Amino acid sequence: MDGFDVAKRLRAQTTVPIIMLTARVEESDRMHGFDVGADDYVTKPFSPRELVARVQAVLRRTTARPDAQVLKVGDVTLDVPRMTAARAGHSLDLTTTEFQLLATLARHPGRVFTRSQLLDAVRGEDSEGFDRAIDVHVKNIRRKIEPDPHRPHYLLTVYGVGYKCTES
């Protein structure tokens, strides 16, 4: 069993943070690592100090607010039980999918999610769909929550990987 299989099995059973430490440096390998559930991907050679910093960052992100009832992203507040959202005290009209995507990202500020991970979070792992549909939802969310959707501050693109929410 390789590291990808281990990460996939772990992710299916737990939300424990996963940092892949590997000699596989190709972009396709990094993308696959994130797709199977890694929270970070470090290639050899690496600095021990950098590894410690990455472990600390992943722990901060993954233990931040996994079960919070009210989530904040900048001046946007999400009331999870009521499925309502507001920005600077003004109600936002988010679709169910938009709300679920934003809540997923807000629960783990700073954590990078691939499109397929976000699709799984919103529609379930057995659903079929196009991961590029996530891009359309992100565009719509940005239009509703960002002061300037063309220069997002809250919902950021991680090029070549996916999306993340800013850390408060």
- State the pTM of this model: 0.61
Tally of CB atoms within 10 A around 95: 12
Q: Residue 101: how many CB atoms within 10 A of its CB?
A: 25
Residue (of 158, 168, 63) closest to 113 by Cα position:
158
Q: Are 68 and 107 in contact (CB under 8 A)?
A: yes
Confidence of residue 92 (pLDDT cuts 50, 70, 90): very high
Q: Look at 61-65, 75-79, 130-134 and tell me which has the smallest mean pLDDT.
A: 61-65
Mean pLDDT of 131-139: 87
The pLDDT value recorded for residue 14 is 73
Nearest to 153 by CA among 73, 65, 38: 73
| Domains of the chain, earliest start first | 3-62 (3.40.50.2300), 70-165 (1.10.10.10)
pLDDT at position 129: 58
Q: How confident is the model at residue 125 (pLDDT cuts 50, 70, 90)?
A: low
- Predicted confidence at residue 82, as pLDDT, reads 87
Coil, strand or helix: which one is 76?
Answer: strand
Neighbour order of strands in the sheet with 113-114: 113-114, 162-165, 155-158
